């Protein structure tokens, strides 16, 4: 499997180079040259780690299979449940528990793997790497726990000052490893993300200082998240729809890729808080920036979803020239309209927006009914 950019400027690179590159040097995002087909029935009775191995093999062509297995074992040994992502049933509703990693964030599933993957590649190449990341809360702590103590790598995490929860800030700032540097920014998550993207656009600077990315712009993170869609589907098997809390579009995009791979997902339901740029995109075909609103779910307080560009690439039949033009237009005007694509978009996703009040009511109601905190 080889990889390329959504904006045409990068082609024919291997998985390890794609991982180290993070954001493509032309400003686009890395995608596989093709989406492999993978029948879920071929892994019907497998556990999470075995499913991960079978899926990873399809996308990783330049790492020996024994080493892939070792990376998987090392990455998921830190989880407190042997199932990694156990599935709980409540009548006709199922909850996939993605909080059994070291920071209790769903991003541990990808970032424990990515931390070990970086260390593996750097050791093999005798290189060093400075990781830059932006977080609205959970990415930062999960990235730090994935990379703390790792050899040949330092991690610098930008987060919005007073824009993450106290628990998340303590998780980031209470680590005394010498390779960890959390940095508070006077601004929003979108400001943090903008700083990172602007730095990565300078290819010479990026190469000189050995910069890499741990945000979901790194395709290795998307790859790791595909696994639990297959895992969850095989536990239920029929009429499966996934409802995914969505901010930066990475998690639900992994589900979209799983569907392209052949996983018969009935529906991908995109759930946003009041920062609703993706809700408006699905419902009305408009992708337009608004001011970021502070909510009770700060990790989703995002107005520019970095993985959105990957979806555009598939929406426009993998035409990188169209994607490049669209992203340049968005950078200039802060708005895109997709009236001619609305039927396809609504075929791929449903979307719902919820307020803080609705979130609190749902948590309370679910707890009273099932004695389970969501």
Q: What is the pLDDT of residues 242-298, one digit of tens each?
A: 999 999 999 999 999 999 999 999 999 999 999 999 999 999 999 999 998 999 998
Structural domains of the chain ordered from first start: 219-370 (3.40.50.1100)
At 214 the pLDDT is 82
149: closest CA among 112, 178, 173? Answer: 178
d(CA 92, CA 96): 13
Residue bearing the bigger pLDDT, 239 or 131: 131
Residue bearing the bigger pLDDT, 298 or 223: 223
Beta bridge pairs of residue 287: 336
Do strands 129-134 and 211-213 pair parallel, antiparallel, or not at all (unpaired)?
parallel
Radius of gyration from C-alpha coordinates of the chain: 19
At 163 the pLDDT is 86
Query: Looking at 4, 16, 49, 107, which residue is catalytic?
Result: 107
Instruction: Please list, in sequence order, all residues whose beta carbon lies within 8 angstroms of the beta carbon of residue 102, skipping any fewer than 6 positions away.
Output: 78, 79, 108, 112, 145
Residue 22, CB-side half-sphere exposure with 13 Å CA sphere: 23
Active site residue 107: yes
Beta bridge pairs of residue 94: 89
Name the range with the highest mean pLDDT among 92-96, 206-210, 303-307.
92-96
Q: Is the pLDDT of residue 362 over 80?
A: yes
d(CA 162, CA 14): 39
Burial of 78 (0-12, 13-18, 19+ CB in 10 A): middle
d(CA 202, CA 188): 22
Average pLDDT over residues 80-91: 97
Burial of 27 (0-12, 13-18, 19+ CB in 10 A): buried
Average pLDDT over residues 304-323: 97
Instruction: Name the DSSP class of 51.
Output: H
What's the pTM value of the predicted model, to 2 decimals? 0.93
At 238 the pLDDT is 83
């Amino acid at each position: 499997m080889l990889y390329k950019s959504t904006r045409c400027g990068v082609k024919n690179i291997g998985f390890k180079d794609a991982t180290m590159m993070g954001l493509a040097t032309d400003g686009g995002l890395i995608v596989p040259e093709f989406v492999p087909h993978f029948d879920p029935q071929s892994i019907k009775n497998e556990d999470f780690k075995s499913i991960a191995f079978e899926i990873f093999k399809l996308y990783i062509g330049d790492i020996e299979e024994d080493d892939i297995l070792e990376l998987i074992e090392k990455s998921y040994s830190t989880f407190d449940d042997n199932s990694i992502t156990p599935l709980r049933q409540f009548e006709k509703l199922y909850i996939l528990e993605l909080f059994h990693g070291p920071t209790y964030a769903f991003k541990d599933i990808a970032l424990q793997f990515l931390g070990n993957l970086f260390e593996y590649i750097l050791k093999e190449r005798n290189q060093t790497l400075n990781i830059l990341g932006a977080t609205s809360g959970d990415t930062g702590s999960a990235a730090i726990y994935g990379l703390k103590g790792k050899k040949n790598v330092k991690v610098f995490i930008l987060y919005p000052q007073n824009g993450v929860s106290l628990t998340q800030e303590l998780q980031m700032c209470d680590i005394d490893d010498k390779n960890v540097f959390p940095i508070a920014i006077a601004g929003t998550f979108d400001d943090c993300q903008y700083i990172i993207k602007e730095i990565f656009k300078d290819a010479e600077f990026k190469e000189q200082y050995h910069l890499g990315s741990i945000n979901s712009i790194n395709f290795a993170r998307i790859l790791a998240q595909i696994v639990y869609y297959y895992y969850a589907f095989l536990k239920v098997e029929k009429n499966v729809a996934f409802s995914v809390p969505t901010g930066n579009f990475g998690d639900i995009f992994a589900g979209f890729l799983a569907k392209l791979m052949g996983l018969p997902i009935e529906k991908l339901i995109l759930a946003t808080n009041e920062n609703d740029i993706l809700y408006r995109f699905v419902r009305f075909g408009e992708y337009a920036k608004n001011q970021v609103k502070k909510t009770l779910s700060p990790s989703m307080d995002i107005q520019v979803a970095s993985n959105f560009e990957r979806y555009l690439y598939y929406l426009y039949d993998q035409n990188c020239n169209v994607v490049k033009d669209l992203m340049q237009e968005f950078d200039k005007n802060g708005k895109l309209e997709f009236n001619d694509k609305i039927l396809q978009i609504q075929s791929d996703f449903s979307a719902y927006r919820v307020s803080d009040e609705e979130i609190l009511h749902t948590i309370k109601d679910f707890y009273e009914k099932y004695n389970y905190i969501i």
